[in-house]
Structure 1
Amino acid sequence: MKHHRTGASRQATAAPRHAPRQVRIIGGQWKRTPLPVMDAEGLRPTPDRVRETLFNWLDHLLDRDWHDLQCLDLFAGSGGLGLEAASRGAARVLMVESQPAAARQLQAICDKLKADQVEVRRGDALATAAAMAQSDTRFGLIFLDPPYHQNWLQRMLPLCERLLTPGGLVYVEAEMALDTAPLPEWLQGWQLLRSDRAGMVHYHLFTLQPAA
């Protein structure tokens, strides 16, 4: 499948100097629920309009069938991605967050929403993913939205390959476009399904290329 760019968000706008104080859940049972954003280094919530486009893509690819989906949010931050998936009916969402205060805030939000299908795990994303890759734990959708300029994608995508169910999807947010040739070596084996840009945010949806 060729990757697709949506026309509406091609026009880049200047990135805000500071993260917004809150984002909101866009769809599902908790629609319009605000999610506070902590002022913490490296915490960069996915903008509402980017998540709206992403979840439109996912609704289309999943045929709006979320009820059996196991999701992993490796850099959970404000919880906007993982909680959006849970709001839409994902069976399970594991949110991993290394910052103690942010993890506590995520747990408080889940408790308030009675989000029993969501697990908040405080820990390092790389170590957590590596440990799960050694087990039989697999996910149909992985959110990968790490801090920029720290080479996280090169380290995380090989682990995501081992954590995906067959046909699973990985959402990747980056400071640069990942759809330009030649692709870096660490993207070999991945197939780009969708990509777009909003301001300084480049976002992509990948799946593993089928085995030859």
Structure 2
Amino acid sequence: MRVISGIYRGRPLKAPKGSGTRPTTDRVKETLMSSLVSAYGSLEGACVLDAFAGSGALGIECLSRGASSAQFFERDKAALEALRANIAALNIPPERARVFRADVMKNPPLFGAVPFDIVFLDPPYAYDAADVLALVQTLAEKGRLSANAVVSYEHDASTAIMPSLGKNALDMKIIASKRFGGTVIDLLGFAVD
């Protein structure tokens, strides 16, 4: 794994040991970032939440491309070690990269001065889509998502998230969807009439 573009371009990233995480391949990351920029625009100045961070590759990629800050949530010890090592190796200052050893589903970031513009959700596939989208709804209700926020939700291809989107009060729609074998990444944005 490596950073694909921006100020840290080409720099290697450590992946956590073990099978507890699914590192995002460079090909998938590049496609995701291209789709994200098409949906959101320039990442310059964006505030990012990497909710199930693993190695932090997605949040770090955004920082490399100009995002102002990223919050990383991870509860797995091996993933946290890799994440912290990646941030240290790139000399990313603490005001740009904050790491939380926490279960984002139980302790979401509900307080803060700046809402999130980009949210990455790459939870273990065992999580129910309704529960993951309830997290997004809570963030929206607490004012933690900007008006033009884009949420990237990676899930098993057999998981249909449309029924869960329809069941809650979250006023978001799928604005882009990419399939990579057995994995789908849906980009969600607020519905505009």
Within-5 A mapping of 1:1-212 = 23-64=1-42, 66-116=43-93, 117-129=96-108, 132-133=109-110, 137-151=114-128, 152-162=131-141, 163-176=144-157, 178=160, 184-186=166-168, 189-210=171-192
Aligned AA (1:79): G
Q: Displacement of 1:134 after TM fit?
A: 5.3
Distance in 2 of aligned mates of 1:55 and 1:81: 9
Contact 2:133–2:165 (CA under 8 A) maintained in structure 1: no
Distance in 1 of aligned mates of 2:162 and 2:104: 27
Distance in 2 of aligned mates of 1:172 and 1:98: 18
Distance in 2 of aligned mates of 1:184 and 1:62: 23
Distance in 1 of aligned mates of 2:17 and 2:88: 22
Contact 2:17–2:79 (CA under 8 A) maintained in structure 1: no
Q: Displacement of 1:87 after TM fit?
A: 0.7
Seen in structure 2, the aligned counterparts of structure 1 residues 187 and 144 have a Cα distance that, compared at 3 Å, is: farther
SS of the equivalent of 1:172 reads strand
Instruction: In structure 2, list runs of 5 or more residues that go unmatched.
Output: none
**CA deviation digits over 1:160-209, x for unaligned, max 9?**
43321111110000103547679652485221111010111100110122
Seen in structure 2, the aligned counterparts of structure 1 residues 182 and 69 have a Cα distance that, compared at 3 Å, is: closer
Contact 2:74–2:102 (CA under 8 A) maintained in structure 1: yes
Distance in 2 of aligned mates of 1:193 and 1:50: 17
Distance in 2 of aligned mates of 1:201 and 1:172: 10
Distance in 2 of aligned mates of 1:160 and 1:48: 29
Aligned AA (1:28): G
Q: Displacement of 1:49 after TM fit?
A: 1.4
Distance in 2 of aligned mates of 1:42 and 1:108: 18
Contact 1:86–1:93 (CA under 8 A) maintained in structure 2: yes
- Percent identity of equivalent pairs: 29
Contact 1:179–1:192 (CA under 8 A) maintained in structure 2: no
Seen in structure 2, the aligned counterparts of structure 1 residues 45 and 184 have a Cα distance that, compared at 3 Å, is: farther
**CA deviation digits over 1:60-90, x for unaligned, max 9?**
33432x2321000000001111110011110
Higher relative contact order (CA 8 A, sep 6+): 1
Contact 2:150–2:189 (CA under 8 A) maintained in structure 1: yes
TM-score normalised to structure 2 length: 0.84
SS of the equivalent of 2:10 reads coil
Instruction: In structure 1, list runs of 5 or more residues that go unmatched.
Output: 1-22
Number of residue pairs matched? 186
Contact 1:149–1:175 (CA under 8 A) maintained in structure 2: no
TM-score normalised to structure 1 length: 0.77
RMSD (CA atoms): 2.4
